């Protein structure tokens, strides 16, 4: 649920109302919400007064914890929406894929260069461009550019 308010107290009030109605609805339909970490979390965007935020929220008899970042559909959202953590995640994923591909080919042996270039583009671009319209900007791409330069050599 998305909660918007003029100040933090108003947001917390509307959040408690939303959590209450979600709890009533799930109880009515005999549904169970998975409140484990990385499944159901609370993240506050554009919050200047972070010390007055509670560490956890209750949904009936379950507890949902406040977090600074959360992965949603493969994209890591952080509280500042600068996507630095997601770009590190993509960088590490690209490094892993490059290391796996280097096991099967080298400059002197392995796949032909044309095949290797096509494979690199296929494997790397799928990770790099997933959700790129949301997270990709110049500040997030500095390390990825250096990796791409190494790969293209």
Q: What was the pLDDT predicted at 103?
A: 86
Q: Please answer whether residues 1 and 22 qualify as being in contact, where contact means their C-beta atoms are separated by less than 8 angstroms.
A: yes
Q: How far is it, in rounded angstroms, from Cα 132 to Cα 28? A: 39
pLDDT along the chain (153 residues), means of 10: 84 92 95 91 81 89 92 92 94 93 83 87 91 90 86 76
CA distances to 6, 8, 11 from 20, rounded to whole Å, are 21, 18, 14
First to last CA, the chain: 47
Secondary structure class of 64 (helix, strand, coil): strand
């Amino acid at each position: 649920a998305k909660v918007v308010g003029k100040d933090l107290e108003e947001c917390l009030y509307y959040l408690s109302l939303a959590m209450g109605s979600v709890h009533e609805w799930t109880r009515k339909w005999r549904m169970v919400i998975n409140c484990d970490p990385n499944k159901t979390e609370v993240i506050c965007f554009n919050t200047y007064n972070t010390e007055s935020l509670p560490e956890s929220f209750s949904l009936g008899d379950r507890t949902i914890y406040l977090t600074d970042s959360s992965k949603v559909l493969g994209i890591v959202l952080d509280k500042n929406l600068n996507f630095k953590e997601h770009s590190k995640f993509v960088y590490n994923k690209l490094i892993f894929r490059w290391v796996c591909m280097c096991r099967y080919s080298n400059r002197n042996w392995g796949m032909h260069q044309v095949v290797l270039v096509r494979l690199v583009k296929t494997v790397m671009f799928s990770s790099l461009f997933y959700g790129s319209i949301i997270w990709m900007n110049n500040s997030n791409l500095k390390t990825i550019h250096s990796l791409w330069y190494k790969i293209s050599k």
